Amino acid sequence: MEDEGRQKKVEAGRVKFAAYLKKKNASDQQSDQKKKKKIENDSENSKEMSVGVESLDSSSLASSLEYMEGIKFEISGGTSGTTTTLDDSKQSIKDEGEVSSERLQTRLKQLEDILSGKEAALEAAHEELSALKEITSFDASTGMLETDYKNRFEECHKRLLEFQEAVQHREGIISQLSSSLQQAIQSRDALQLQGDQLAQEVALLQCQLKATTALIQGHHWDTGIKPHDYLTLQNQLLALEVAVTKNESVISNLNSVIKENASELQCKSDDLEKKSQELSQHKTKSANEIQKLMREVEELHQKCAVMASNNNSLMLEHERQMAALQSELEENFGLQLVHIKEELRNQFDKEKAALERR
């Protein structure tokens, strides 16, 4: 009975694991094509959060600037109509926040589905592992072979570790996405608060605009200038002041560029002067060295001429001494040489005669 119960547990674990593998294979065929997109989505979620916040900030600031420009246009035209840029900015903030939150919630739902599948597979692996433990403990007591069960146990343990790592990885991604979602919600709330503050400021400015327009229209003009003409002239004056400010900034920039160029030119002129001084010093040094070498060459030529004259005199003296020595030798050894020649000739004649007799 115990064996049948264990066998049933093992079969149930195998069925669950086979169902999980079938489901995984069916999903892998679709996820192989979208794996890169999922990886890019994981990296783009964080980028979208920062970009979304920046876009919301820029859109809110742009909408506020457009609204202020609308106020200026109302002043120049003498109208007191209201604009809808603030509502548009608030609506864009809400829409973008809702889109980012919907994306994150969709991603969280997908990850939760994957995590549930992993947990089911992990539970099946746990059941199979417990069944294998019971089988191995029972078979060890009965003396059956243990190598097959050990291999299966190690394989299941390895799969279990892989499932645990995958679950931990998914939990980390879910925690990161949750923190990103919380930050996005906080940013959205902060932007909504800023939008409300801007709405209050714009309402106050509209009230001030209406009061100023009513005051200008109800004022008695002694100079004969109409309020519309006065506002036009004032706007022209403001435009001229802005143009003068821009020109002054351009002039200051040009002056700074001129100063930089002048300093650079001064540095280059200093370098050129320094290089020219070094060149003149080098030329002077080279000229001195050339003069010194010319003097040395001239001295060497003089020494060579003196040595040549000395050699000629020595050769003449040597030849004279050799001639004197030769004459002296001829005087001393001339008679001896004649006598030796005669003796050698006589000896040669005797040897010749002796050879002829033989």
Q: What is the pLDDT of residue 214?
A: 74
Q: What is the pLDDT of residue 339?
A: 76
Q: What is the pLDDT of residue 64?
A: 42
Between CA 292 and CA 229 the distance in angstroms is 92
Angle of the 147-218 helix axis to the 227-357 helix axis, nearest 10: 130
**Side chain identity at residue 146, one-letter code:** E
Task: pLDDT tens for the chain, 358 residues: list them.
Answer: 556 665 666 566 666 666 666 666 666 666 666 555 554 554 454 444 444 434 434 444 344 444 444 444 443 444 344 444 445 544 555 565 566 667 666 766 766 666 666 666 667 666 766 666 665 555 444 444 556 667 777 777 777 787 778 778 877 887 788 788 788 888 878 888 888 888 888 888 888 888 777 776 665 555 566 667 777 888 888 888 888 889 888 998 999 999 998 888 888 888 888 888 888 888 888 888 888 888 888 888 888 888 888 888 888 887 888 888 877 777 776 667 777 778 888 888 888 888 877 6
Compute CA distances 54 → 39, 67, 164, 167, 182, whole Å. 23, 20, 38, 33, 16
Between CA 234 and CA 49 the distance in angstroms is 44
Between CA 89 and CA 93 the distance in angstroms is 6
For 343, other C-beta atoms within 10 Å of its C-beta total 10
Q: What is the pLDDT of residue 93?
A: 52
Read off the pTM. Answer: 0.29
Q: What is the pLDDT of residue 224?
A: 60
Between CA 148 and CA 223 the distance in angstroms is 111
Rounded CA Rg of the chain:
58
CB 138 within 8 A of CB 3: yes
CA dihedral 102, 119, 162, 148 (to 10 degrees): -160
**Side chain identity at residue 342, one-letter code:** E
